[in-house]
Amino acid sequence: MCGIYGYFDRSGAALPDATLAQMDRLLTHRGPDDSGHVRFSHGAIGNRRLSIIDIEGGHQPMTAAEGKVSVVQNGEIFNFVELAEMLRRDGIALRTRSDTEVLLALYLRDGVDFVRHLNGMFAIAVHDGRGDRPVLHLYRDRMGVKPLYVHDDGTRLTFASEIKPIFATGVRPVANREALHHFLVLNYVPPPLTAFDGIRHVPPGGRLSISPTGMVEDRWWRLADIQPQPMKLADASAELLALLDDAVRIRLRADVPFGAFLSGGIDSSTVTGLMAMHMSRPVDTFSIGFEDQRFDETRHAHAVSQRFGTNHRHEIVSPRMLGRWPDVLHHLEQPHGDVSFMPTLRVAELAAAETKMVLTGDGSDELFAGYDKYLNFFGPSATFGDDATFARTYTDSALTLFPETTLDADLYASGAAKAVAGLSTHDLIAGHLADVPQFDHLTRALYLDALLLLPGNNLVKPDRMGMAVSLEARTPFLDYRVVELAFRMKAELKLSEGRTKHILKHTVRPLLGSALTDRSKQMFTVPVGEWLKQDLAGHAREMLLSDQFNDRGLFQPDTVRLLLESHIQGSRNNTREVRALMALEHWHRLFIDADADTDV
């Protein structure tokens, strides 16, 4: 696990050493163990390293071809052992046990398509100075587990694992109104947009190739290319168990202490149980709980710990943790209405005190229909109409925080409404759904969440909160083999008889037992709605009723006041709306209001 950064200047102009050093420094938390960079005729690539595999031999960048080819990566290649053996059989000698050297050797052997061999989570930069013109290739893993941001002004393309290093090159933080409009509708910024003008994500499965004459962008893997297949429950379950077991096995490859996040839900429990089967020592597990029993899963996590004999550590958190909201948003760099980032940061801190790497259960809900929204929308009596009707109805009923009609009529101030006139989150969603006509309606909804919600919000959580404390998080459910199997399945294997995750529960019931497998799902979230009525009411008023908030000219003050006060008084539950507006205000204060000459 690392952070990468660099640039390609088509004119050949060089960034100063001090700027590269600043980009490096801003990623120290992602890689406190080592750093390095290499310059070339049109730019540079660099790395901050969190040493997990081959502690002594894995320094980056790695170079070959008399220094003309260099590679850096953020992430891990989980099948690097098998790939190294394949290379040796082909007569290619390797000097280290590092997965990064495997990347370099594969690129030299196979060229730009080397990435297709990889099973991992990664963002990779390869500079190739051979031939008539230099080229920089940027790659992102299939599901977007690892982040990769770019800014291109037409002359210089800058990239990094986080956004702040891009600001270090002189790019100014300017709010992207389109992205913030979609944030208010969806509760997160949908990629490839970011909240900043001119800065975007490389898409999952994406590749950029930058040269002095321009840039070519394509996708080396697409979720939309998967075709459904008829499957029997027994056959699909057997294949799923085998793939999950192997996904966990290869993610245990590490030369440092490691453990698991354990909430007590079916996903993290499955990962913990499979880890226990492959390990000769007890699994170290970590969890967070709440005093409010409606939100607390501590007892379930303890039950899993007892079943598999783990060394378990947990902590109960209080409303005071919301004081860390600015710290969390500093690491997120974009507004997120999901406040479970805060307990995730705390459980990452617990784990980082003992380990350098954890496995998590992230991704299962989006593969196997684990959320109640799927059950509520795709019930046995559901009707969907044509594709346009389905897209609009599903967006409005299952995805929307602030409906676009409400934003335009009641919430936006007049100037803000004019600035986003013509934008439509409905059209954005409909466009993505139109890419997968081969899927049934439920699988289209899962596709949408895998494409947008996972890389835009849910995978940001373990990456950013783990990296904030130099902790690597690995996600076995997002092994590409498991993902491809899940999207080949039809809806009836995922939702059946009023049950979510039908195939997964059938598969892991022998491992977990019925009590753990069949209990009701409990969302990992913070009881912030209650806290905002009591301990944090004053803080909420300071954030949303202040002159600083109103002077932005984004929202109608009377509407915001009514929304907040009706929640505090208990006449309406506006938890999600209030926390989204507070997240947006925190973000503005941290990034947009900051002096452009200071570190943001």
C-alpha span between 75 and 5 (Å, rounded): 13
Pairing of strands 135-140, 149-152: unpaired
Using alpha carbons, select from 372, 502, 504, 386 the residue that is nearest to residue 441.
386
The Cα 385–Cα 172 span in angstroms is 45
Neighbours of 295 (CB within 10 A): 18
CB-based contacts of 583: which residues, under 8 Å, 6+ apart? 325, 329, 335, 336, 337, 339
Task: State how far the Cα of 503 lies from the Cα of 501, in Å rounded to an integer.
Answer: 6
C-alpha torsion 454→342→584→566, nearest 10 = 110
Q: Beta-strand (E) ranges in 291-374?
A: 311-317, 357-359
Write out the two tokens for 496. Answer: 């059946």
Nearest residue to 599 (alpha-carbon basis) of 125, 201, 169, 236: 169
Q: Which entry of 2, 195, 208, 367 is annotated as an active-site residue?
A: 2
Q: Which token pair is 403? A: 């409906």
- Angstrom distance (rounded) from CA 584 to CA 549: 10
DSSP 183-198: HHHHSSPPTTB-SBTT
Write out 267-307 in H/E/C secondary structure.
HHHHHHHHHHHHCCCCCEEEEEEECCCCCCCHHHHHHHHHH
Give yes or no: 2 in active site: yes
CA gyration radius for the chain?
A: 24
Query: Crossing angle for the helix pair 502-512 and 266-278, nearest 10 degrees?
Result: 50
Beta-carbon contacts of residue 520 (< 8 Å; ≥ 6 apart): none
Residue 518, C-beta contacts closer than 8 angstroms, at least 6 positions apart: 505, 509
Q: Letter for the amino acid at 206?
A: G
| Cis amide linkage into residue 147, ω under 30° from 0 | no
Q: Determine the Cα–Cα distance for residues 47 and 385; give it in Å rounded to an integer.
A: 50
Interatomic CA distance for residues 427 and 246, integer angstroms:
39
Q: Which helix (H) or strand (E) holds 539?
A: helix 537-544
Q: Omega into 192 within 30° of 0, i.e. cis?
A: yes
Question: Cα(first)–Cα(last) distance of the chain, in Å?
Answer: 23
CB 416 within 8 Å of CB 554: yes
Q: Which residues are catalytic?
A: 2
